[in-house]
């Protein structure tokens, strides 16, 4: 009799790990559209459908990912896995989200090296992009209720959106938003006494790298460094690759770099799979594996360290205020990125109809986003063929 409550309370770790593996293998295979779209799909799956997390928990994870280096959507997958099934879940969710994109990228890199060009996927992406916009907009609408719950947070969000459109650095916006909420609540006396020092993470500048012959060891160390200090969007990654691999080390040509970034954008999963493509071009399959491990390994470390701190931070009035502000800043960045992506995705009547129909199917019938992506891909391919 006494053992039954313990059996009911004990977590079903094999079952949880299997669920995590199935979910993130699927998301890693169909998650087109960049970090904003990936996070929107995760929110749909783990908050709305499975109810593994609350909206507040999910927003705190987004904020934590924005404050540490590395690819945000991959870190979100790792955070979710850690919350669901501990260290084993952390590893399973992260690896399962990364591997599909890496394998697809290796296949495309093989074609690129063998034939000197990359496969054309413009027709498919033409239909997928407006669907992704609908998925992201739906997620933003749901997250808005959790973020914009006071006039203070609404004001901070509006200010952060304006700052983002003005081109202010993402890290400056996030830390400024957190500091503003702390200051406002202290002025109102809603925070406890005592000053808590908040240490800000800053991106270390990459050291000067002299031109050097290529080696697998040097390739690993380069991408390990990038994964450990990379803040911001994929365009920041492009700046690192241009400065080191093209200008300093001369391992890639400008044309090869642009092809690598294009492959990263047309494949599902994290944009940092660009590293996989570069690794294959420079060092074959072993180079692809080494580059992939190098750029993603720091994310596992940073999440494993920061994940357990989130509940403690929430119990501190000052840290909680800071997280509320960073949540508002993160939400503002999602809004601005979605606007920019929307302008590039909705370019004519067909894409407008796809975006509107997708939004209606998501809101009215709660259709799984994976089916909508397949519908968008088929529509895009068909429309392109008809236009010819």
Tell me if 80 is assigned to some domain. Answer: yes
- 240 and 358 housed in the same domain: no
Measured between alpha carbons, how far is residue 103 from residues 90, 109, 240, 249 in Å?
20, 10, 23, 26
Q: Taking 70 as the threshold, does the pLDDT of residue 3 lie above it?
A: no
> What confidence score (pLDDT) does residue 234 get?
52
User: Burial of 310 by CB count in 10 Å (0-12 exposed, 13-18 middle, 19+ buried)?
Assistant: middle
Select from 302, 334, 369 the last residue of a domain: 302
User: Burial of 381 by CB count in 10 Å (0-12 exposed, 13-18 middle, 19+ buried)?
Assistant: middle
Is the pLDDT higher at 265 or at 42? 42
Span 70-93, mean pLDDT?
A: 92
- 156 and 68 housed in the same domain: yes
Query: Of 158-162, 256-260, 344-348, which range is least confident?
Result: 256-260
Q: Taking 50 as the threshold, does the pLDDT of residue 208 lie above it?
A: no
Tell me if 37 is assigned to some domain. Answer: yes
Select from 302, 321, 338 the last residue of a domain: 302
- 261 and 314 housed in the same domain: no
What confidence tier does 116 reach under pLDDT thresholds 50, 70, 90? Answer: low
- 262 and 372 housed in the same domain: no
Measured between alpha carbons, how far is residue 45 from residues 41, 69, 241, 253, 355 in Å?
6, 25, 33, 40, 20
- 240 and 314 housed in the same domain: no
Tell me if 196 is assigned to some domain. Answer: no
- 90 and 157 housed in the same domain: yes
> What confidence score (pLDDT) does residue 231 get?
59
Q: Which of 61-65, 180-184, 265-269 has the highest mean pLDDT?
A: 180-184
- 184 and 235 housed in the same domain: no
Distance of CA 144 to the CA centre of its chain: 19
Tell me if 3 is assigned to some domain. Answer: no
What confidence tier does 241 reach under pLDDT thresholds 50, 70, 90? Answer: confident
Tell me if 268 is assigned to some domain. Answer: yes
Tell me if 339 is assigned to some domain. Answer: yes
Q: How many domains does the chain have?
A: 2
- Crossing angle of the two packed helices 122-147 and 35-43, in degrees rounded to 10: 60
Task: Give dist(CA 66, CA 75) in Å, integer.
Answer: 9
Rg (CA), the chain: 21
At residue 118, what are phi and psi to the nearest 5 degrees? -110, 150
Residue 331: CA atoms inside 13 Å, Cβ hemisphere, count? 31
Span 145-149, mean pLDDT?
A: 81
201: alpha, beta or left? (left if phi > 0; alpha if psi -120 to 50): beta
- 71 and 179 housed in the same domain: yes
Expressed as residue numbers, the domain containing 124 is 14-191+308-387
Query: Of 97-101, 200-204, 324-328, which range is least confident?
Result: 200-204
- pLDDT tens digits for 61-75? 887 787 777 788 899
Task: Give dist(CA 266, CA 6) in Å, integer.
Answer: 48
The two three-digit tokens of residue 6, written as one number? 């313990």
- 187 and 241 housed in the same domain: no
Query: Of 156-170, 234-248, 282-296, which range is least confident?
Result: 234-248
The two three-digit tokens of residue 149, written as one number? 């719950």
Q: Taking 90 as the threshold, does the pLDDT of residue 11 lie above it?
A: no
- 154 and 224 housed in the same domain: no
Tell me if 90 is assigned to some domain. Answer: yes
Alpha helices (H) in 116-211, listed in sequence order: 122-147, 151-165, 170-188
Tell me if 199 is assigned to some domain. Answer: no
Span 303-328, mean pLDDT?
A: 78
- 240 and 317 housed in the same domain: no
| Mean pLDDT score of the chain | 81
Q: Taking 90 as the threshold, does the pLDDT of residue 384 lie above it?
A: no
> What confidence score (pLDDT) does residue 330 get?
78
Task: Give dist(CA 139, CA 340) in Å, integer.
Answer: 16
Query: Of 67-71, 184-188, 353-357, which range is least confident?
Result: 67-71
- The share of the chain scoring above pLDDT 70, in percent, equals 83
> What confidence score (pLDDT) does residue 217 get?
94
Select from 282, 302, 322 the last residue of a domain: 302
> What confidence score (pLDDT) does residue 52 get?
94
What secondary structure letter does DSSP report for 273? Answer: G
What secondary structure letter does DSSP report for 54? Answer: -
- 143 and 180 housed in the same domain: yes
What torsion, rounded to 10 degrees, do the Cα atoms 42, 45, 48, 50 define?
Answer: -130
- The share of the chain scoring above pLDDT 90, in percent, equals 32
Query: Residue length, the chain?
Result: 388
């Amino acid at each position: 009799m006494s053992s039954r409550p313990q059996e009911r309370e004990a977590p079903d770790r094999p079952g949880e790990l299997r669920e995590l593996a199935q979910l993130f293998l699927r998301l890693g295979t169909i998650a087109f559209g960049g970090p904003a779209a990936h996070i929107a799909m995760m929110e749909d799956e783990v908050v709305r459908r499975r109810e593994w997390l609350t909206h507040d928990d999910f927003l705190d994870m987004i904020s934590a990912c924005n404050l540490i280096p590395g690819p945000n959507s991959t870190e979100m997958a790792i955070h979710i896995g850690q919350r669901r099934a501990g260290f084993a879940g952390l590893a399973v969710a992260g690896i399962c989200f990364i591997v599909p994109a890496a394998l697809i990228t290796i296949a495309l890199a093989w074609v690129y090296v063998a034939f000197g060009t990359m496969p054309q996927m413009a027709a498919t992406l033409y239909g997928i992009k407006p669907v992704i916009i609908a998925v992201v907009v739906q997620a933003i609408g749901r997250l808005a209720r959790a973020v914009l719950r006071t006039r203070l947070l609404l004001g901070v969000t509006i200010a952060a959106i304006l700052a983002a459109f003005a081109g202010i650095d993402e890290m400056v916006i996030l830390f400024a938003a957190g500091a503003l909420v702390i200051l406002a609540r202290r002025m109102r006396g809603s925070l406890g006494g005592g000053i808590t020092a908040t240490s800000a993470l800053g991106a270390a500048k990459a050291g000067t790298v002299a031109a050097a012959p290529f080696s697998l060891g040097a390739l690993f160390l380069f991408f390990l460094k990038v994964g450990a200090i990379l803040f911001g969007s994929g365009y920041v990654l492009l700046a690192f690759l241009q400065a080191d691999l093209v200008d300093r080390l001369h391992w890639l040509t400008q044309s090869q770099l642009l092809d690598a970034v294009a492959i990263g954008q047309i494949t599902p999963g994290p944009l940092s799979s660009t590293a996989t493509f570069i690794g294959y071009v420079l060092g074959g399959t072993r180079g692809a594996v080494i580059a992939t491990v190098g750029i993603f390994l720091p994310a596992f470390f940073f999440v494993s360290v920061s994940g357990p701190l989130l509940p403690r931070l929430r119990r501190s009035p000052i840290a909680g205020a800071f997280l509320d502000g960073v949540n508002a800043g993160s939400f503002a960045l999602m809004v601005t990125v979605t606007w920019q992506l929307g302008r590039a995705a909705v370019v004519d009547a067909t894409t407008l109809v796809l975006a509107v129909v997708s939004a209606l199917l998501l809101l009215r019938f709660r259709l799984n986003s994976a089916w909508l992506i397949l519908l968008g891909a088929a529509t895009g391919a068909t429309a392109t063929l008809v236009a010819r």
